[in-house]
Amino acid sequence: FDSNSDAGKFTSGLFSYPTTYVVDKNGNIVGEPIVGAITEKNQAKTLEKLIDQALQVK
């Protein structure tokens, strides 16, 4: 990506792959990203909470 593009600016903050973002229907990032693979129950619960928050946006 061009480092000055929106994609370039967004990806400059990524330090690990995969990085999971939850985005609401208005395009806003909900909560903090989950860095790394979602392999533990607490990570899955965090993801579920973020999805629930995203779905509540009107």
Average pLDDT, 10 consecutive residues per value, the chain (58 residues)? 76 77 92 87 93 94
The residue type found at 7 is A
* CA dist list (Å): 14 to 7, 11, 17, 52: 11, 5, 8, 24
Other CB atoms closer than 10 Å to residue 22's CB: what's the count?
21
Helix, strand, or coil (residue 33): strand
Q: Which helix (H) or strand (E) holds 5?
A: none
Read off the tokens for 40: 């533990």
The overall pTM is greater than 0.85:
no
